[in-house]
Structure 1
Amino acid sequence: MKKLFFLFLISFSFSTTVAQEQKPNVLVFYVDDLRAELGCYGSKTAITPNIDKLASDGVMFNRAYSQQAICAPSRMSTLTGLRPETMGIYSIFTPLRKIHKDVVSMPQLFNKNGYKTVSIGKVYHHSSDDKKEWSVYFGKEANTYNDPKNIAIIEQLKKEGKNPKGPAFDMADVADEAYKDGRASKYAIETLHKLKDDKFLMFVGLSKPHLPFNAPKKYWDMYNRNDFEVPSRNKPEGVYRLSLTKWGELKGYHGIPKDGDLDDELTRTLIHGYHASISYVDAQVGKVMQTLEDLDLRKTTTIIFMSDHGYKIGEYGAWCKHSNMEIDTRVPLIVSRETNYKKRKTGKTSKALVENVDIFPTLVDLCGLEGPEFDGKSILSIINKPNKKGDEYATSVYARGKKIMGVTATDGKWRYTEWRNAKTHEILQAELYEHKNSLLSYLNLSGNKKYKKIEQKMKKLLEKQFPRDKPFLQNDQPRKK
């Protein structure tokens, strides 16, 4: 009897050790302001060989969505598995921990389960949310300018007591590490060498193509600026008056006019800079991926490539994000499982509706952990079977101040948005856009009798997530002056 019990203990200990060894490492490339402007997504202009290669080694999602097209709430949602409306935080000015002290974050849970957790670059928007939750922490760095002309402009602005934010782009003939994303990949590579014998969850926060579009000249030289078309500045017919923000954060940069549309020359330059920044990020992804191979870590590491939200580069005459439009809420998402997983899928494209809020529960499922309650759900079964259907719909929010809340739902083909009084839920205006073949749509079909059934269907889907009798949680704090 004692012998059997002893054998049981050995067997239990062995199986537990094997289970622990089978838990994968996780590396997340978390990119800022990146829409699906990538070669693997069919872009005719973007040069992204390393990201394309990653897509060929995993599952690429064509219908992935962010929960809000702005940095702070979007990133909180990813790192907690909770939606902005659950947290009641809709602006960039409120840190998560100022409001929610006890919400369990992804790094906290993985730390508790024996993982080394690593934050490099921009992961959370607020550094106050970052520092205490990670085993290894390289904070978000300030933007670097290397062009002597731009440095002189910034110094002059400082002397004049003006906003020294600097120009909207920079392209010096320097090494990758001269700009902050090159340093981020350097830190990631150094950390992988140190943690190669540990289980780890690593976020590599790549800040480009967020403004300013600062990247080494060699990435600008990869493109012919005349290949970039100036997009239509037309706004959708029947669009709600607050649906779009014309400038977003772009107008804060030196050399950008405060009023009127950008001319074609400046528009092309900025589009060029956006693409140069994407290729710069692509190169950093390639360096980190090569390090995984060199250290024999790829076989035990699941890779996620994602963005916090989409982006506009002149479409609708608008720039940046800050809306409920399809182009701002749809994001690239690629998942490539560890190579020693025998049933892993490669070179597959999924049409399933998935959301960034699903990432945390998916990683809990993947790593065999026990997590807290989530708003999102695990998409591991879709990663393993890419043809499987996802959710019926995906939702996002965008507040216009404290009084107006925009809520939106997509089924992958249609996007329905309601702009509501944030207190009474009175519908101020509705929008219905068709997106069967494009991220853009130029006609609001809400109220059109021909599309009445579609609108009713989409309205019901929207109200599942945003019922009219449930008040919006408002935990945002006013901006400090």
Structure 2
Amino acid sequence: MKKRAFLNLVSFSMAGFFILTTYRAGAGNEPPKKKYNVLFIAVDDLNTDLGCYGNTFVKTPHIDRLAKRGVKFDRAYTQFPLCSPSRSSLLTGQRPDVTGIYELQTHFRRNLPDIVTLPQLFKNNQYYSARVGKIYHYGVPGQIGTDGLDDPISWDHRINPKGRDKAEESLIKNLTPDRGLGSALAWRATEGTDDEQTDGMVANEAIKLLEQKKDEAFFLAVGFYRPHSPYVAPKKYFDMYPVETVPLAREIENDFDDIPDAALFTKPANWGLSRADRQEALRAYYATISFMDAQVGKLLDAVDRLKLADHTIIVLWSDHGYNVGQHGQWMKQSLFENSARVPLLIAAPGGVKGKTSGRTVELLDIYPTLAELCQLSPPQALQGKSLTPLLKKPDAKWDKPAYTQVRRNQFFGRSVRTERYRYTLWDEGKAGEELYDHDKDPDEFHNLAKSTEHASIRNELLALLKKGYPALSQGQ
């Protein structure tokens, strides 16, 4: 079905939503006296190597502080582990097979010209809608300071900072010199202050907008560039991680014996880097996480200083996860857990605080969640599910799996994640399949897809995968 026809045929129904007139304590059946604001924090290429997610080595005190203000989703997943497909899906509320975005060049409006995006929904409902930094896709570092593949009609105001990290690109050390800086293990520990870096500028510009618009209803999207490669941050953040102490991913002998070749993005494993080079790269990745975390802290401080917390929803998400040596893989574009799983934190006024939800959720669920919390009605059907029940009761009954896909040249890998299992099919099975039991094998070392003992589980998950991806049932 053509995408325009899809939009014309579907209509949004609030039947599946509970209007949150009682979400705020004491509100009864009265509408909120003041509209909820939204502070929408996007982080580029961030995995769950965070303190609040159990990584005690990486220092992220401010994201950890945000986790204490709301709900941390422990099993949240991207729809496509690549920047533009993921962001296009989240911001339109449609899966990649509907947006038709599987790479980094095509704008989603070529396929969905009339769709109303998440920020556009707020803009259309008399919210001030602004973007600082990267929300829709553009290349890092090449397009820093530009609009890239932005969507102008989503915003009232757009700001594209460009800092010292961009100006000093020639000084960056590239451990994989045959790869461009945006997809390389490359880093630089800079002199100077946070405020001279692009992400420091992003935080400062966002704070200015918070100060200017604190008395208006706003949807403020703040897009940080780090820890996306090249890993650039002030030297003090590198000093937090002595290179010889950096722990590398666990490895086992004969790990690749039961992994389909299609599952591997990084070839050869670890791009042939030595242990010392890998520690150097991972140290830099972690340093940029701590640098970005400090910028998040500035935003949280501003929210509190301006007394916005009691009517501002704060969402922090990453567009996908990030491999840091698991199975010899680096970065994204794989369907292993580290690439598909993302951090997702939501702090909403009236919601529970400091709780963790173990339910399987998707980035696709953010659009309907914010629409419901703010009592807005999108004009098209959304393919995600509102997370508001989990914001009130993180262990509420929930039977929704999470789906992630990736493209390998002319075929797809498609994966379904339940709370216990991950099942992945490559090229409809012609290029292999994978089944992992996360209760017993959280590192995904033992592929059970051909195990007779797990045949019934495999068949159940295959049926679930086909339910999530109708193209599989149609042989596409």
TM-score by length of 2: 0.85
**Could you give the per-residue CA deviations for residues 325-378 of structure 1, whole angstroms, max 9, x where no partner exists?**
11111111111113xx3xx20111111111000000110000001112111111
1:121 equivalent among 116, 133, 139: 133
Contact 1:310–1:331 (Cα < 8 Å) also in 2: yes
Does the CA contact (< 8 Å) of 1:122 and 1:140 recur in 2? no
Matched position secondary structure for 2:261: coil
Superposition map of 1:330-345 within 5 A? 330-338=341-349, 341=350, 344-345=351-352
**1:411-430 counterparts in 2 under 5 A?**
411-420=418-427, 425=428, 427-430=430-433
Q: What pairs with 1:180-191 in structure 2 (closer than 5 Å)?
A: 180-191=198-209
Correspondence for 1:246 among 263, 266, 270 = 266
Give the aligned partner of residue 358 of structure 1. Answer: 365
User: 2:157 — aligned with what?
Assistant: 136
User: CA 1:469 to 1:463, structure 2 compared with 1: closer, same or farther past 3 Å?
Assistant: closer
Taking structure 1 as reference, are residues 236 and 426 closer, same or farther at Cα in structure 2, changes over 3 Å only? closer
Q: Deviations over 1:35-91 (max 9, x none)?
A: 111101100211011111111111111111110100001001111111101212211
Matching of residues 183-332 of structure 1 within 5 Å: 183-232=201-250, 235-246=255-266, 260-332=271-343
2:474 to 470, 474, 477: 470
Normalising by the residue count of structure 1, what TM-score does the alignment of the two structures yield? 0.84
Q: Determine the structure 1 residue equivalent to 2:403.
A: 395
Distance 1:147 1:129, change over 3 A: closer
Alpha carbons 1:26, 1:301 under 8 Å: kept: yes
Query: Which one of 92, 97, 113 corresponds to residue 85 of structure 1?
Result: 97
Q: Does the 8 Å CA contact 2:315/2:347 hold for their aligned counterparts? A: yes
Q: CA separation in 2, counterparts of 1:140 and 1:393?
A: 38
Q: Distance in 1 between matches of 2:430 and 2:211?
A: 55
Which residue, 24, 32, 40 being the options, matches 1:28? 40
User: Aligned in 2, Cα 1:449/1:366: closer, same or farther, shift over 3 Å?
Assistant: same
CA contact (8 A) 1:169 1:211 kept: yes
RMSD: 2.5
Shift of 1:22: 3.2
1:452 paired with 2:455, answer: yes
2:185–2:281: 8 Å Cα contact kept in structure 1? no
What is the deviation of 1:448? 0.8
| Partner residue, 2:19 | none
Distance 1:148 1:322 in 2: 25
Does the residue aligned with 1:242 lie in a helix, a strand or coil?
helix
Which residue in the other structure is 1:3 paired with?
none
- Structure 2 distance, partners of 1:210, 1:43, is 19
Residue 406 of structure 1 pairs with residue 418 of structure 2: no
Q: Structure 1: which amino acid aligns with 2:224?
A: L
Is structure 2 residue 85 aligned with structure 1 residue 67? no
How big is the shift at 1:431? 1.1
Separation (CA, whole Å) in 1 of partners of 2:475 and 2:215? 49
Q: Which amino acid aligns with 2:237?
A: Y
Higher Rg of the two aligned structures = 1
1:245–1:318 CA contact under 8 A, matched in 2: yes
1:200 counterpart letter in structure 2: F
Contact 2:414 2:426 in 1 (8 A): yes
Is it true that 1:106 corresponds to 2:118 in the alignment?
Answer: yes
Q: What is the correspondence of 1:8-19 to structure 2 with a 5 Å cutoff?
A: 19=31
Question: What displacement does 1:131 show?
Answer: 2.9
After superposition, residues 154-173 of structure 1 pair within 5 angstroms as 168-173=186-191
Name the amino acid aligned to 2:280: T
| Identity between Structure 1 and Structure 2 (%) | 35
Distance 2:440 2:134 in 1: 32
Residue identity in the other structure for 1:70: L
Deviation at 1:23, TM superposition (A): 2.4
**What is the CA-CA distance between 1:281 and the residue it aligns to?**
0.9
> Following the alignment from structure 1 to structure 2, what is the Cα–Cα distance between the partners of residues 259 and 388?
40
Distance in 1 (CA, whole Å) between partners of 2:83 and 2:403 is: 16
The unaligned stretches of length 5 or more in structure 2 are: 1-26, 139-147
- C-alpha distance in structure 1 between counterparts of 2:149 and 2:67, whole Å: 33
